[in-house]
Amino acid sequence: PPNHLFAFRNRPEGKVLETVGVFEAPKQHGKYETGQLFLHSVFGYRGIVLFPWQARLYDRDVASPVTEKSENAAGHGSKEVKGKTHTYYQVLIDARDCPHISQRSQTEAVTFLANHDDSRALYAIPGLDYVSHEDILPYSSTDQVPIQHELFERFLMYDQTKVPPFVARDTLCAWQEKNHPWLELSDVHRETTENIRVTVIPFYMGMREAQNSHVYWWRYCIRLENLDSEVVQLRERHWRIFSLSGTLETVRGRGVVGREPVLSKEQPAFQYSSHVSLQASSGHMWGTFRFERPDGSHFDVRIPPFSLESNKDEKTPPSGLHW
């Protein structure tokens, strides 16, 4: 049936296509609730909503009236941008789908600094993602454990009287409350050049003391989307990193995270996370990605300027997932 969501299941007789749910109409207004099952419209994985975040979206494709001065826009001769409130979601990715999307999107989407003085470790929580409202294709399922993820039954419980029938456990509420400084996205930056849309979400991760100085860490998540039918390949990155201490660093390199992804009509998007540290409590970054067309010609795609802010209130370091 056209409104059914199918997935391949491994059975003794081989791979079998089974119905895993029924699609619902996407919400034009309002937001999805905790426990909403969905298919990601860009990466195609099954997931479930843990909770919504309200973010400020700075969209450089929507020019603001020149008369309105925005305090948050970075300079560099770029047009001024006003932030608009937009709903994003913290979600769990179905572990069965992780291998299929790992070439297009890092499934270890959330990282944070370890809470140990003797440790320099960076922890990663697998199968968590940040999803924009329009990425969600909602569906319903009669399966009591429709998503396979180690945190599913720890965070959610089945309640057939509710719609959707999965409700937050106390552990989910406590985890959100405890870790929201490391999870909560506040600013999202977006810009399109020659039909390649770049979306950046920065996160402050905390401060470390090293050799009598303070080092501040951020992670940033970047999504590249090809809105055109022409195949292009990312070849180089070129970053400028400005620190409040007055330094300006230039970083050039091949590809991103060791990859040179191809963006095609069939697989139009690529998403990854990276980290940056400054010896000052704030700064900003901007730059370009160089893409190559099939005929060998190149073009540069702008990375929208985004600020690196350390939250003013001193945070307690993140707590892990074990109590």
The Cα–Cα gap between 82 and 58 comes to 6
- For the ranges 83-87, 137-141, 204-208, 230-234, which has the lowest average pLDDT? 204-208
Q: What pLDDT is stored for residue 208 in this prediction? A: 84
The average pLDDT across 213-240 equals: 95
Q: How confident is the model at residue 236 (pLDDT cuts 50, 70, 90)?
A: very high
- Domains of the chain, by residue range, sit at 16-62+82-185, 189-314
Least confident of 5-19, 51-65, 191-205, 289-303: 5-19
pLDDT of residue 79: 58
Considering the chain, what percentage of its residues have pLDDT values greater than 70?
82
pLDDT at 112 over 80: no
- Give the Cα separation of 302 and 238 in Å (integer): 10
| pLDDT of 310 strictly over 70 | yes
Those residues whose C-beta lies under 8 Å from the C-beta of residue 71, and which sit 6 or more positions away, are none
Backbone angles phi, psi at 33, to 5 degrees: -95, 165
Answer yes or no: is pLDDT of 73 > 70: no
pLDDT exceeds cutoff 60 at 65: no
State the average pLDDT over residues 148-154: 94
Q: What is the mean pLDDT of residues 234-261?
A: 96
How many Å apart are CA 232 and CA 226, to the nearest integer? 8
Beta carbons of 268 and 229 less than 8 angstroms apart:
no
pLDDT digits (tens, 9 = 90+) for 8-30: 766 666 666 677 889 999 999 99
Domain spanning 189-314, CATH class: mainly beta
The pLDDT value given to residue 119: 58
- Does residue 180 register a pLDDT over 90? no
Residue 100 has pLDDT above 50, yes or no: yes
**Mean of pLDDT over the chain:** 86
Where does residue 211 rank: exposed (0-12), middle (13-18), buried (19+ CB within 10 A)?
A: exposed
pLDDT number for residue 173: 92
More confident call, 119 vs 165: 165
Task: Please tell me the predicted confidence (pLDDT) of residue 184.
Answer: 77
